[in-house]
Amino acid sequence: MLRLRNLKCYYGRIRAINGVTLSVRSGELVALIGANGAGKSTLLQAVCGLVAQWDGEIRFEKESLKHCKPQHVVQRGISMVPEGRLLFPPMSVLENLKLGAYLRYRKREHAAIEQDLDHVLTLFPVLRERTRQAAGTLSGGEQQMLAIGRALMARPRLLLLDEPSMGLAPFLVQLILDVLVQLKTQGMTILLVEQNARAALQIADRGYVLENGRVVLEGEAGDLLADQDVKRAYLGKDYKEFDEGRG
Amino acid sequence: MQELLQYFFSGITSGAVYAVIALGFTMLFNSTGLINFAQGEFVMLGALSLITLWRDFKLPLPLAFCLAVVGVAMVGILLERLAIRSVRKPHPIVLVIITVGASILLRGVAMLHWGKDAYSVRSFSRHPPIEIAGATLLPQSLWILAIVLLIVAGLQFFYRRTLTGKAMQACSINRKAASLLGIGSESMVLLAFGVSAAMGAVGGVLIAPITMSGYDMGTLLGLKGFCAAMLGGLGSSWGAVVGGLLLGILESLGVGFFSSSLKDAIAFLLLLLILYVRPSGLLGVKAVHRF
């Protein structure tokens, strides 16, 4: 469904992504993990048309996304939940959600939009109680749910998430991940970027490990979870085992 | 008492015009974060176009009104397309200076076309002035107030009820987030320029019958509209209206009770005062941010 081949991104002279090849098949949940500054967010932004300069190939359903502006990427069926949520704080929850369906309102799909709105509010019942509240006054977890809901309102076929667990309490992270699993069972294709590698790999089908703008490891999520290198670098397992050995 | 009322009437009349000009500033600022210093020139173009179309070409007033406003909106759109969008590095300061340049250009073009004379035109309707408690209220004042109220209501409706209005707000809050939802900032900025230019033109059309209109009328009116917008709180529609009316009334009282030479100084004294005491304006509130 999504295929990146030898992708290179630049910020001026700095090369943030250095030849990444990656693919997401329809219906899959793929995790992209890596440390700070590995280029994970840059990769997502390149797919969404937010990176001005890139080389290589990005294809979505066989069509190239070269020179595609963000608004056209959405139109083709890719929605992103950006890092830091980027909600519209003074607007109400309902307005935020409705703006998510902006392009579909243009196409006069009112009935379908109402249906999707209901679907999103069923997915996140907390939001249903707060439709009139300003988005800026929600808690961090609720804001993340709203950001995901807003992206879903565009009825994407591919959902990109950039660090949805950032700054959230563990039980909220779990709640968000559960929703992603639920979306996947409903047929959504998901590319999940996470620093919280263990959580991401636990729900993913496959995973890629990014380091300094390159894919250093890829494979089935289960294999990656068991991989010694991944454990040491991203899961912090060594320290625990050291502790356990001592006790 | 009678005097006071008279000053009040003339104050709200010019105040309402300042309010429309301030609304133009506010509208553009809301959607793009820009201050357009060519706003006053749109007022001038509106006034002079009305005079040409209505007085000289003898078109019916509603038609002349609409043509003048649409024409000036086109000028605003052209300005955005040709001068603003083509800037390679759109720093706010560069864009603001471009609008200053545009104002000089528009003034020059207007001088070539209309010459250096000042024109006047009769009031919209031929009703006699209304007498209230010894003070006279001109029918033109009522026209101005009614049209300004209509515009404010329309603007509120646009921002609160229409998808495009909300998309425009979203664009000004976070351009990147808006583009990720499919809202193209370019079309929103274009629309904002068109509507705010139209707003300036309405101000010009309204003021044409109560003042002398010439190619150089825009500078001062634009600055006063800017004062009004700052006074009420840049970015707030109601703030623009309150600021405009307050400025108009204080100006008229100042002229009446002190000296007419003070007229233009009052606006700028108020601007300085508000910048010292309450920089966010009377109705300007800080946005609610959780993080």
Taking 70 as the pLDDT cut, the residues of chain B under it are: 284-291
**Cross-chain residue pair A82–B181, CB shorter than 8 Å:** no
Judging contacts by C-beta atoms under 8 Å, the chain B residues touching residue A142 are none
Nearest CA in chain B to A74: B182
Structure tokens at B274: 């508000």
CA distance A140 to A146: 10
List residues of A whose CB lies inside 8 A of any B CB.
48, 50, 69-71, 74-75, 79-80, 82, 86-91, 95, 98-100, 102-103, 105, 134, 136-138, 143, 150-151, 154
CA distance A29 to A145: 18
DSSP H or E stretch at residue A214: strand A214-220
pLDDT for residue B54: 94
Global pTM reads 0.84
Mutation target for A interface from B180, B289, B291: give the one with most A CBs within 10 A: B180
Q: Angle, nearest 10°, between helix axes A110-123 and A93-100?
A: 130
For residues B271-287, b (16+ Cβ closer than 10 Å) or e, as one string?
Answer: beebeeeeeebbbbeee
Q: Is the ipTM above a cut-off of 0.85?
A: yes
The length of chain B is 291
Averages of pLDDT over runs of 10 residues in chain A (247 residues) are 93 88 95 88 93 91 91 94 93 95 92 95 94 94 95 95 91 93 95 90 93 91 87 63 46
Domains of chain B (ranges, CATH numbers): 2-277 (1.10.3470)
**Cross-chain residue pair A90–B287, CB shorter than 8 Å:** yes
Tell me how close the Cα of A117 comes to any Cα of chain B, in angstroms: 15
The amino acid sitting at B78 is L
Residue A22: Cβ within 10 Å count: 19
DSSP state of B184: -
CA distance B85 to B80: 6
pLDDT for residue B287: 45
* Residue in this structure with the two tokens 């009052």, named with its chain if needed: B266
Q: Return the C-alpha torsion angle A214, A216, A217, A218, nearest 10.
A: 20
- The vertex-B101 CA angle with B186 and B212, nearest 5°, equals 105
Handedness of CA B56, B59, B61, B67 (dihedral sign): negative
**Tens-digit pLDDT profile for residues A187-198:** 999 999 998 888
Structure tokens at B197: 């230019």
pLDDT for residue A32: 94
CA distance A106 to B31: 20
pLDDT for residue B60: 94
Side-chain-side CA neighbours of B91 within 13 Å: the count stands at 3
DSSP H or E stretch at residue A238: helix A237-246
CA distance B124 to B235: 31
The amino acid sitting at A100 is G
B6, B136 Cβ separation under 8 angstroms? yes
**CA distances in angstroms from B83 to B28, B97, B199, listed in the order given:** 16, 11, 20
pLDDT for residue B286: 52
The amino acid sitting at A48 is C
CA distance A4 to A24: 9
Domains of chain A (ranges, CATH numbers): 2-77+157-246 (3.40.50.300), 86-155 (no CATH)
pLDDT for residue B88: 77
Structure tokens at A145: 């749910």
Do the strands A189-194 and A29-34 form a parallel or antiparallel pair, or are they unpaired? parallel
* Residue in this structure with the two tokens 């909300």, named with its chain if needed: B166
Phi-psi region of B211 (alpha: psi -120 to 50; beta: other; left: phi over 0): beta
- The vertex-B283 CA angle with B280 and B284, nearest 5°, equals 35
pLDDT for residue A236: 62
* Beta bridge partner(s), residue A96: none
3-state helix, strand, coil in chain A (%, to 5): 45, 25, 30
pLDDT for residue A247: 40
Spell out the SS3 assignment of A86-119. CCCCCCEHHHHHHHHCHHHHHCCCHHHHHHHHHH
* Residue in this structure with the two tokens 């090369």, named with its chain if needed: A15
